Amino acid sequence: MNSQKMRSVKELEAYMDGPKPDMNPIDQAADYLLVGEEMLENWLTAQERIPTQDKKEGFRILALHRQGCKGEPSFNACRETCRELAYYYNLITLEPDSDEMSSRLRMMDIVAKHLVLFIGNKMMDDQVGEFCCSAKVNRLNNEQLQERVGVKNG
Amino acid sequence: MTVIIDKKDLKKKYKKVAYYPGCALEGSALPYDKSTRAIGKELGLELVDVKDWNCCGAMEVKNIDPQVETYLSSRVLSNAQHKNKMDVVMAPCNGCYKNLKQAEHELGHNQKSRDVVDKISKKAGHETYESGDVETIHALDWIKMGYGEDELRKKIKGGLKGLKIANYYGCMYTRPRNIFPEKAPGAGGDDLIKPHYMDDLLAVAGAENVDFALKTACCGGAHTLSDRDMSTKLVLNILEAAEAAGAEVIATECPTCHSGLEMHQIRALKRMSKKTNVKVIYFTQLLGMAMGLSARKVGLNGNISDSRGLMKEKGII
């Protein structure tokens, strides 16, 4: 599952805010997964990194998330959001006749939107970001810290 | 390093703990403080306030100097150890809990941090805290491991009567994962990916927990002043996810998340015309009411999200 042309963050935000095109549920689920992947691709390319084509546990979104966390532990704040997308994708595709199809699609829509909001906000906020509470500043060594905050410790 | 929890002694160990309310529980989260103390009393679990406690550093100090933040949290641990003579600190606030755990980890793994903390502690004239001397736990650990579900079941009176609850843990209860060795797979603590302690306790109290996809998602709390619209959007999404899952209530265990959910629920209606009806209640308030404590005793009237109508309708109060 790889996009031909990655949509921008703005396009993805607008897409998630608007009505979705008519699709069958399986395609819709795949589309939500793709939205997640493209947001992660945006995150990675903003840092001049090449998004992986690998998969983790059968999902590219999980491999992309893991790649996105390298050097940026605060990005783990969306780890479970990515996992939930994969979880709902599995539910929808493995049980296509389920009575819960519409509620599962609704949940996948909300989860995908959360991922779009979270990553979009991080990219806007931090010139690749630092707002959350498990931020990477805690992991930097002293020299990196001095460079970052512009003051000497000790 | 994997730490295997020795569960057999925890009931004795957690029966009397040092209590670190932090600044939120003495301000915006007074109902959380009130209900935590009330259920402690009801369960016979003793809380002794950490003497002369200070700010843990919250989210701000680390952006200037993380070692000062480590020091601030270490001072709380030092006071609990030396002034209170206690070896367990219970912090109900996720921010405090995470920062104390982070300080513990830093001091155990970083000589530079140890040196800085020692230097400031000596200058401030108090004992330096050394990693491993005090255990930091959350209010969820305190009740789940220190009291236990079987015993708790005996304390439930009216119960929560099938109240549909989405349990929201927020982002700091399980992250960053390396500071919570007791939550590593096989260690015996709560789950890093799908935490369940709050679900377990509220299920014992009679709640019907819904499958909540955003239970550890970001609420935008740190952005609530700098980018309110973004916080409102993130919160609205969490509220809508809870409602889509069928929840009548979102149970919280973090004062920052709780006040964010309450305030942005109102703001979403005012600014975005998006109305959600799900109520926001601290898990300690829910447990207290399930044990038969009055709404007033658990501070329900102190919440911005007014759930008294729903609780009456459900026969809980």
Domain that holds residue A142: 9-149
pLDDT at B229 over 50: yes
Whole-prediction pTM:
0.90
pLDDT one-digit tens code per residue, B185-228: 889 899 998 999 999 999 999 999 999 999 999 888 877 766 78
Contacts of A124 (CB under 8 A, 6+ apart): none
pLDDT at A126 over 70: no
Query: Rounded to an integer, what distance in angstroms lies between the CA atom of residue A49 and that of residue A67?
Result: 9
Determine, yes or no, domain membership for A4. Answer: no
Residue holding tokens 């979270």?
A118
Nearest chain A alpha carbon to B110: A141
pLDDT at B62 over 60: yes
Identify which of B59, B215, B244 has the shortest CB distance to residue A133. Answer: B59
Determine, yes or no, domain membership for A2. Answer: no
Determine, yes or no, domain membership for A1. Answer: no
Separation in Å, CA B255 to CA A64, B137, B166, B188: 32, 16, 16, 26
User: What is the CA A21 to chain-centroid distance, rounded?
Assistant: 21
* Domains, in order of start, for chain B: 13-137 (1.20.1050.140), 158-313 (3.40.50.11810)
Mean pLDDT of chain B: 94
* DSSP result, B103-166: HHHHHHH-HHHHHHHHHHHHHHTSPPP-TTSSEEE-HHHHHHHHT-HHHHHHH-SS--TT-EEE
Identify which of A81, A83, A117 has the shortest CB distance to residue B233. Answer: A117
pLDDT of residue A124: 67
User: Contact A117/B237, CB-based, under 8 Å?
Assistant: yes
More confident residue, A140 or B197: B197
Best interface-test mutation with A: which of B175, B191, B236 has the largest number of A CBs within 10 A? B175
pLDDT at B55 over 70: yes
Closest CA to B50 of B12, B88, B15: B88
pLDDT at A129 over 70: no
- For residue A40 the two structure tokens come to 């992660």
Determine, yes or no, domain membership for A26. Answer: yes
Determine, yes or no, domain membership for A117. Answer: yes
- Please check whether residue B162 is in contact with residue B316, taking contact to mean a CB–CB distance below 8 angstroms: no
Mean pLDDT of B167-179: 92
Identify which of A79, A107, A114 has the shortest CB distance to residue B234. Answer: A114
Q: Is A98 on the interface with B (CB under 8 A)?
A: no
Query: Rounded to an integer, what distance in angstroms lies between the CA atom of residue A8 and that of residue B140?
Result: 41
Starting at the edge strand found earlier in the chain, the sheet holding B88-90 runs B46-49, B16-19, B88-90, B135-137
Nearest chain A alpha carbon to B70: A138
Mean pLDDT of B21-36: 96
Contacts of B214 (CB under 8 A, 6+ apart): A81, A84, A110, A111, A114, B168, B237, B238, B241, B242
Cβ pairs bridging A and B (under 8 Å): 103
Residue type, B316: I
- Please check whether residue B97 is in contact with residue B136, taking contact to mean a CB–CB distance below 8 angstroms: yes
User: Contact B176/A134, CB-based, under 8 Å?
Assistant: yes
Based on the structure, what is the number of domains in chain A? 1
Closest CA to B173 of B130, B128, B138, B213: B138
pLDDT of residue B212: 96
Contacts of B107 (CB under 8 A, 6+ apart): B70, B74, B113, B114, B117, B129, B130, B131
- Please check whether residue A123 is in contact with residue A46, taking contact to mean a CB–CB distance below 8 angstroms: yes
Residues in chain B, how many?
317
Contacts of B238 in chain A (CB under 8 A): 114
pLDDT of residue B228: 81
pLDDT of residue B221: 81
Residue B181 is classified by DSSP as: G
* DSSP result, B199-251: HHHHHHTT-EE---TTTT----GGGTTT-HHHHHHHHHHHHHHHHHTT-SEEE
Determine, yes or no, domain membership for A143. Answer: yes
User: Contact B64/A149, CB-based, under 8 Å?
Assistant: yes
Residue holding tokens 């491991």?
B145
Mean pLDDT of B16-34: 96
Residue holding tokens 């990655």?
A6
Residue B77 is classified by DSSP as: H
More confident residue, B4 or B264: B264
Best interface-test mutation with A: which of B56, B68, B237, B240 has the largest number of A CBs within 10 A? B237
Query: Rounded to an integer, what distance in angstroms lies between the CA atom of residue A85 and that of residue A90?
Result: 9
More confident residue, B33 or A8: B33
Closest CA to B159 of B204, B209, B210: B204
**CA contacts within 13 A on the Cβ side of B132:** 4
Longest CA–CA separation in chain A, Å:
63
Question: CB atoms < 10 A from the CB of A78, how many?
Answer: 28
More confident residue, B72 or B63: B72
Determine, yes or no, domain membership for A154. Answer: no
- Please check whether residue A136 is in contact with residue A72, taking contact to mean a CB–CB distance below 8 angstroms: yes
- For residue A45 the two structure tokens come to 């390319």
- Please check whether residue B230 is in contact with residue A121, taking contact to mean a CB–CB distance below 8 angstroms: yes
pLDDT one-digit tens code per residue, A43-59: 999 888 999 999 999 99
pLDDT one-digit tens code per residue, A43-102: 999 888 999 999 999 999 999 999 999 988 888 889 999 999 999 999 999 999 999 999
More confident residue, A154 or A4: A4
Residue holding tokens 């970052």?
A148
Q: Exposed/middle/buried for B260, CB within 10 Å: 0-12, 13-18, 19+?
A: buried
pLDDT at A16 over 60: yes
Residue A16 is classified by DSSP as: H
